Structure 1
């Protein structure tokens, strides 16, 4: 009798069905009130005592095999019907298409590129792994120059002359080496500095630097260009330039835009002054022009640079710079409607 139960176990496990009716017939055959399981349980009293344990285990195995097979077949047939209904009903509304989202860094970078492209600037790019000449020396930062300490650099250990670029000014050097004036270009890209990571700073971030080289370029041209940019980008037309120092420009200045003091956030981000620093700028140092093969007696120019991350945080009210690189989908989905 135990052998007969084992035959039914094998039969139950191998059973296949194409319709729910076949599944129901199988269920009744084994699990119904008059099914085989109840018959085998009724015969339990006539089994020899030394076989009762094995007989009971076989019955439990048969019961589980029959129940599992019924559930699996029902689930498979239900899924098959759902799929058929989903694709077979031509009047059914189409599934909604998920809208992609641009990263806030890309949004702000594209806005900056668009503003400067409308006044004649093209876009130039360069390698993120640079050599000492393009990143420092050509920019009026010779070896042992104290201003190098302003930028904590990631050097390649096997070759101290190779490093991760600390600014996109290196792209401007390469552009000047390969193009003759007039030059009007912006250089967006990622840069690296060995800084502690916090809510306001990171070891990598993004910059856009601009360069204009031509005859008779003046500081007034620089100010007018920056005035146009801040008006287009922020809707703020009031700016001020504060004297500063950069090795590759002379004179140099920090650019502040008047943000206002209309809200509590305005007070916080401007520290109660209403003024917000957005970039550095200056007239290109003649030494830099000469290093790049441009006659400094004939040509002059200006340069400027700004951090895309900080502007993105400002425009989109992002409180932690680390959110820009953590790839948290919940954060990125907030920018689905942005261009």
Structure 2
């Protein structure tokens, strides 16, 4: 702060001149009137009524005046600051009233309105499909069996008649659990539960095995390294391929509608002999549309593999193959869900987008 000015000349303190004071007040009143919100008014208050505002700085200059001039200058500055504060208070009241009216409109609640219901959750399409397939087998009198996902190599391969040099044992097909000599793998199919069920439950045996499996496949529209299967195993006296086909027909009808029949094409699997690929009649065109996109115009859709249980598998599990015969089959649950619900890309099943499941409701 500057010292007393013994030779007072009002012109020397320009900030205290009446014209300067009036100019500061005019600028402040304009800024206050232009504020359209409480935030803008706060900025105007800091700029024109704060400690560093022009009027506040002018008020500090009063101390540099001789005593005879201080009263007049103080009165002039005080009146100017009072006008600004009054304008601030008036505009504050106007803006607060506008805000309160706006809140009453924007936040109004109609207590008579029906409340919005919370969206219903949806079960995953794969879970629904797996349970539907399992229910179809239970309806035929079969039991549901389960097994571990980290499986002993003996159950996954040896008990199922896989040779030591079978390609499926190689690292490009199977996830092996470290250390390398642990004899443990992530099961590549649900078939190990066949051997476990035969050993634990004995015969006769009718079990369906839904479960997750693992293979070293690249993720794309039709493949995934983690996928689900439904395995079926029946071992009893006098079973034939006719029993197998009848079971597959009933399962196909349960999943794709009445009148759906199956056919068997020769194939090879180590754990079945004879083996077959199972197709079912196209449920969209029923074999009548050569341009059908679902079956490619063939009238048939490939679903899975099947066959009569290899006698070596029965022997490995302590079952007399001369007395008992069995059949087994397996199909992908993802493929079944995609066919039933016209899903074109398998990745949609595993991306976790809740909107995907919402479209299917509670039933697959």
TM-score by length of 2: 0.69
1:2-13 alignment runs, 5 A limit: none
Identify if the C-alpha distance between structure 1 residues 151 and 305 changes in structure 2 by more than 3 Å, giving closer, same or farther.
farther
Does 2:275 match 1:252? yes
Residue 146 of structure 2 is matched in structure 1 by: 125
Give the Cα–Cα distance (whole angstroms) in 2 for the partners of residues 162 and 151 of structure 1: 16
Q: How many residues align?
A: 286
Identify if the C-alpha distance between structure 1 residues 39 and 149 changes in structure 2 by more than 3 Å, giving closer, same or farther.
closer
TM-score by length of 1: 0.74
1:97-112 alignment runs, 5 A limit: 97-112=118-133
Does 2:221 match 1:208? no
Does 2:292 match 1:267? yes
**Looking at CA atoms only, which structure, 1 or 2, has the larger radius of gyration?**
2
Give the C-alpha shift of residue 163 in structure 1. Answer: 0.8
Give the Cα–Cα distance (whole angstroms) in 2 for the partners of residues 36 and 248 of structure 1: 86
Q: 1:234 aligns with which of 256, 261, 275?
A: 256
Residue 15 of structure 1 is matched in structure 2 by: none
Identify if the C-alpha distance between structure 1 residues 39 and 287 changes in structure 2 by more than 3 Å, giving closer, same or farther.
closer
Q: 1:154 aligns with which of 152, 171, 175?
A: 175
Give the Cα–Cα distance (whole angstroms) in 2 for the partners of residues 278 and 117 of structure 1: 20
Give the Cα–Cα distance (whole angstroms) in 2 for the partners of residues 321 and 258 of structure 1: 22
Identify if the C-alpha distance between structure 1 residues 47 and 229 changes in structure 2 by more than 3 Å, giving closer, same or farther.
same
Cα deviations across residues 42-61 of structure 1 (Å, max 9, x unaligned)? 8447324699xxxxxxx9xx
Give the C-alpha shift of residue 173 in structure 1. Answer: 1.2
Give the Cα–Cα distance (whole angstroms) in 1 for the partners of residues 171 and 275 of structure 2: 15
Q: 1:46 aligns with which of 34, 39, 58?
A: 58
Which structure's relative contact order is higher, taking Cα pairs within 8 Å and 6+ residues apart? 1
- In structure 1, stretches of 5+ residues that fail to align are 1-26, 52-58
Residue 332 of structure 1 is matched in structure 2 by: 357
Q: 2:247 aligns with which of 206, 219, 225?
A: 225
Give the Cα–Cα distance (whole angstroms) in 2 for the partners of residues 303 and 36 of structure 1: 84
CA contact (8 A) 1:258 1:276 kept: yes
Q: Say which SS state the counterpart of residue 359 (structure 2) adopts.
A: helix
Residue 116 of structure 1 is matched in structure 2 by: 137
Q: CA-atom RMSD, angstroms?
A: 3.5
Q: Say which SS state the counterpart of residue 250 (structure 1) adopts.
A: strand
Does 2:309 match 1:287? no
Q: 1:187 aligns with which of 184, 188, 209?
A: 209
Give the Cα–Cα distance (whole angstroms) in 2 for the partners of residues 250 and 151 of structure 1: 26
Give the Cα–Cα distance (whole angstroms) in 2 for the partners of residues 194 and 174 of structure 1: 24
Residue 166 of structure 1 is matched in structure 2 by: 188
Give the Cα–Cα distance (whole angstroms) in 1 for the partners of residues 226 and 49 of structure 2: 75
Q: 1:134 aligns with which of 155, 161, 176?
A: 155
- In structure 2, stretches of 5+ residues that fail to align are 1-37, 64-83
Give the Cα–Cα distance (whole angstroms) in 1 for the partners of residues 234 and 354 of structure 2: 39
Identify if the C-alpha distance between structure 1 residues 149 and 272 changes in structure 2 by more than 3 Å, giving closer, same or farther.
farther
Give the C-alpha shift of residue 269 in structure 1. Answer: 3.5
Cα deviations across residues 51-75 of structure 1 (Å, max 9, x unaligned)? 9xxxxxxx9xxx9xxx8xx98xx79
Give the C-alpha shift of residue 38 in structure 1. Answer: 6.9
Give the C-alpha shift of residue 303 in structure 1. Answer: 0.4
Residue 96 of structure 1 is matched in structure 2 by: 117
Does 2:331 match 1:309? no
Cα deviations across residues 271-329 of structure 1 (Å, max 9, x unaligned)? 33121111111111111111111121221111000001011111111111111111012
Give the C-alpha shift of residue 130 in structure 1. Answer: 0.7
Give the Cα–Cα distance (whole angstroms) in 1 for the partners of residues 49 and 171 of structure 2: 89
